[in-house]
Structure 1
């Protein structure tokens, strides 16, 4: 048996052998509890804390697998590294750690285990502080340092290295792949393709956004290298406030492109539940999935979720306030970038506003900005004819989103007519958008083009 290195046939699936770091000792029986940081860092610390090789495994499914695990560790002179996800250690695991006290045991978990579930034997505990993968680790994995300031812990770096070959060597795509599978169905992925030139904002708001990107990119320098202490987990929370269509979603997309990150727009209707406890469960799924890789979480109409807490008049009000308290705690522990978008800043809960790192006010564009938005709305290959975009920018006080929708509507009208996009098509597009907004169309508004919208042409 001792000469057979094939492994016991009854072992749990996914078992891995971690080599011994040095000279082995004869006596066994240590029980080490490791929590904190990431799984890869806990594995490295476990190997450093013991002189034996380790068999790393998730919790065996039944007593037969436990017997096989203990048998394999005994025959090979190895220790056992149990990797546990929950805070409660199952009774069967605690029982086997006591029965097989001749072995070295390491129990690894993200958070401290509930003390009442621990094995009834002596143990020692080590807490690991979460840290980011070093520049040297990046160079060893990819031959380069992160180009967009990606913030990955050692385990995430290991997974990105696995994904790297499957995405044709695209480092940014490998990082994005970490969370994409887990967030599917929880939010809408916004592909970050557009650049800063696509975002028409006043200089002050543009500067705020570029500073927000820089704050994310250089957080490792400020916190890890220079030693400043972050508030909370070191993540970033931004508030985008302003009327609908003023560029809040586009700003998140542009930041995602600048950082090489995916943006996930969270569908509030799939999160908020009338059933007690379900909203927290849904949010926990989102934050846990987002923590698997670098993504920007974009909560649209966030006041519906992060709004002011109500006066407690019944059990439902009390529970709604508990939900808000939970959200405050969960956002503080998230290490990524969260964007809360709202049409009305006054609706946001004061406790949330105190946790905002950057607040950007989005207003309706002025005439000069509207003209630039009209100009950027047309792709290079779109056929146009005799457009007076300056007249449109002067006559109609529209948001960027409404201008974009007007151009799209006009393009379809032109395509249907088999003609280039003309003023007739654009003013009809504007008319359709004004109708959606509940605004009356008047001859004064449309001037010489009123005949197109009045049906008298």
Structure 2
């Protein structure tokens, strides 16, 4: 409650142009040289005033000096990521973004879509100001990654966060969704507000569980479920950060959700050449027995996640036997992955 005689004045965040000027002035005063694009990225990341910008730069300088080096862009970016240190309140888990774009093995069309997501995450705020777009809706970057399970959607979200130098928060749907009336909406509002303030990439994995189609109202339970989806759609439209949703069943998403999506990227089961590349990256020749090769197992139509699991299983068995990975190890591991999805083998196994 505001004390008697007091007046509360909402001070808006500085415009991007004003924030960029402040960043340049503060960085120049600290003797830090960065590019124009990096300044725009700092200003777009968090709506900081002069004091907040000064605190970030001071932290970057102290960190660099503690490590005995000149302060650089990496120090400023790291200081910005931890200013302030927000807690997702148990509604999401913070995942250290370590996967890089170059770690992904994807078809050209999918990779092009990912690159476009990165561009929007970096430049959307600046583009809105450049075009003088009015209104508060639709300023966030909401993207949908859809396709079969195991095709790299979650890894791609992590790579996007790494590329734009932001933390990744993975939403815990079990904590967000509540059976109590109004609690789900409260949790969603709290989570989106915290994510926006922290400047993180927010990931709703298997989003169809939360963004599913609204159904016909037959009782109070249906009505409240539809209200939750209505609230989420409207709240998402007001969000100013980056949100990634993944789904194995995009047709199950509510139709009204489509117009809130800025970008949609399709993930496919890897083709033969991509599978060969995945096997080569996971099991280089130095780990294989003499004469062993991953060429034949690459013919099996496995997802990237299944190939990773098979490579790990083959390596475990090889280490257990005290030797390199043989084709027998590879065949056994691939057979188990195919059994999981009830698919017959395409290539004849090696008999020992």
Q: TM-score range by the shorter chain?
A: 0.7 to 0.9
Question: How far did residue 317 of structure 1 move?
Answer: 0.6
- Gap change, CA 1:231 and 1:225, over 3 Å in 2: same
Distance 1:221 1:445, change over 3 A: closer
Partner of 1:270: 175
Q: 2:269 aligns with which of 344, 364, 389?
A: 364
| Residue 194 to residue 128, structure 1, CA distance change in 2 (3 Å) | closer
Look up the match of 1:141: 26
Distance 1:161 1:281, change over 3 A: farther
How far off is 1:426 after superposition? 2.3
Q: 2: distance between equivalents of 1:128 and 1:281?
A: 24
Q: 1:371 to 1:136 in 2, by over 3 A?
A: same
Which residue among 145, 154, 157 is the counterpart of 2:48? 154
Does structure 1 residue 439 correspond to structure 2 residue 331?
no
Verify: 1:131 aligned to 2:15, yes or no: yes
Per the alignment, residue 114 of structure 2 pairs with 209
Matched, 1:422 2:339: no
Which consecutive residues of structure 1, in runs of 5 or more, have no partner in the other structure? 1-89, 98-104, 110-126, 452-456
Structure 2: distance between partners of 1:367 and 1:179: 46
**2: distance between equivalents of 1:167 and 1:321?**
49
Q: Residue 448 of structure 1: CA displacement?
A: 3.4
The structure with the largest strand share of the pair is 1
> 1:175, 1:294 within 8 Å by CA — same for their partners in 2?
no
Q: CA deviation at 1:404?
A: 0.9
- Structure 1 residues 327 and 249 mapped into 2: Cα distance closer, same or farther (>3 Å)? same
- The alpha carbon displacement at 1:321 in A equals 0.7
Q: Are residues 1:297 and 2:199 paired?
A: no
Question: Contact conserved, 1:195 with 1:257, CA < 8 A, in 2?
Answer: yes
CA contact (8 A) 1:265 1:297 kept: yes
Cα displacement string for residues 205-264 of structure 1 (whole angstroms, at most 9, x for unaligned residues): 211211221122222332223424477151111011111111101111111121111111
Q: How far apart are 1:134 and its partner, in Å?
A: 2.3
Q: Is the 8 A contact 1:138 1:146 kept in 2?
A: no
- Quote the Cα distance in structure 2 between the aligned partners of 1:423 and 1:186: 44
Local SS of the residue matching 1:387 = coil
Q: Secondary structure at the match of 1:416?
A: helix
8 A contact 1:235–1:336 mirrored in 2: yes
1:390 matched residue in structure 2: 295
1:238/1:187 CA distance change after superposition, 3 Å: same
- Cα deviation 1:34-91 (Å, max 9, x = unaligned): xxxxxxxxxxxxxxxxxxxxxxxxxxxxxxxxxxxxxxxxxxxxxxxxxxxxxxxx2x
SS, match of residue 265 in structure 2? strand
Does the alignment pair 1:221 with 2:126? Answer: yes
Aligned to 2:225: 320
- Alpha-carbon distance between aligned partners in 1 of 2:337 and 2:113, rounded to the nearest angstrom: 30
1:422 is displaced (CA, Å) by 2.4
Q: Secondary structure at the match of 2:198?
A: coil
Q: Which has the higher helix share?
A: 2
Q: Distance in 1 between matches of 2:25 and 2:284?
A: 42
* Structure 1 residues 188 and 408, CA gap change in structure 2 (3 angstroms): farther
CA distance in 1, matches of 2:77, 2:84: 12
In structure 2, stretches of 5+ residues that fail to align are 65-70
Q: Which has the larger radius of gyration?
A: 1
Partner of residue 182, structure 1: 87
Cα distance between partner residues in 1 of 2:238 and 2:327: 52
| Aligned length, in residue pairs | 330
Q: Find the counterpart in structure 1 of residue 9 from structure 2.
A: 108
Distance 1:158 1:106 in 2: 28
Q: Compute the TM-score of the two structures, normalised by the length of structure 1.
A: 0.66
Q: CA deviation at 1:413?
A: 1.6
Deviation for aligned residue 1:419: 1.4
Q: Is the CA contact (8 Å cut-off) linking 1:235 and 1:332 kept in structure 2?
A: yes
SS in 2 for 1:410: helix
Secondary structure of 1:183's match? coil
SS at match of 1:178: coil
CA distance in 1, matches of 2:211, 2:15: 29
Counterparts in 2 of 1:230 and 1:337: CA distance versus 1, 3 Å: farther
**What is the aligned-residue RMSD (CA, Å)?**
2.5
Q: By how many angstroms is 1:304 displaced?
A: 0.4
Q: Tell me the equivalent position of 1:56.
A: none
Q: Does the 8 Å CA contact 1:179/1:293 hold for their aligned counterparts?
A: yes
In the alignment, structure 1 residue 403 sits paired with structure 2 residue 288: no
- Measured in 1, the distance between the counterparts of 2:338 and 2:22 equals 55
